[in-house]
Amino acid sequence: MEIKKYPCYIKGVEQKYPNVTPGTPIYANCVQVGNLLFVSGMTAQSFEDGVCLTNTAQDQTRVCYTKLKQVLEGAGSSLDNLVRTLVLFKDMKDYPVVRATELEFFKEHAPSLVDAPPASTVLQAAALARPEFLVEIEAIAVVEK
């Protein structure tokens, strides 16, 4: 079975060695195996310049899902094809606002997920990749239904 990788670029640099200094995270935005897409955790980090784009859980959730949508579409899929999400929180107090923001995003960009949402797990992590990140969302989707 073929494995296809969709690289992550930040500041125009593919996130792999030797392009980045040792200790810098290296990863693909997603990896396709057969009809499945495994999407790396999306944060509020800008692909353009690497900065954190916002400081509220609501806005970070919107950025995460916007990036997830871009990555899925870049791999020939869509949000409608989500089958599972893993939502990591810095603080579980943000759970209600994150889920409400997710619902609004689905209504706007993937209405099929409102009535038939993907499987989902949430958990509070001891820490996310950077202290300013409040939410991180990784996903599994199919390329075609």
E-strand ranges in 3-128 read: 3-7, 9-10, 13-14, 28-33, 36-42, 82-89, 119-124
d(CA 60, CA 141): 21
Q: Which CATH number fits domain 3-142: 3.40.1190.20, 3.90.1300.10, 3.30.43.10, 3.30.1330.40?
A: 3.30.1330.40
Model pLDDT for residues 100-123, shown as the tens digit of each residue: 999 999 999 999 999 999 999 999
- Among 115, 56, 32, 29, residue whose Cα is nearest residue 80: 115
Indicate whether 76 pLDDT > 90. Answer: yes
Q: Which element (helix H / strand E) includes 91?
A: none
According to DSSP, the residues that pair with 142 across neighbouring strands are 36
d(CA 57, CA 77): 26
d(CA 74, CA 69): 8
Indicate whether 26 pLDDT > 80. Answer: no
pTM over 0.75: yes
Q: How high is the pLDDT of residue 44?
A: 97
Sequence ranges of the domains in the chain: 3-142
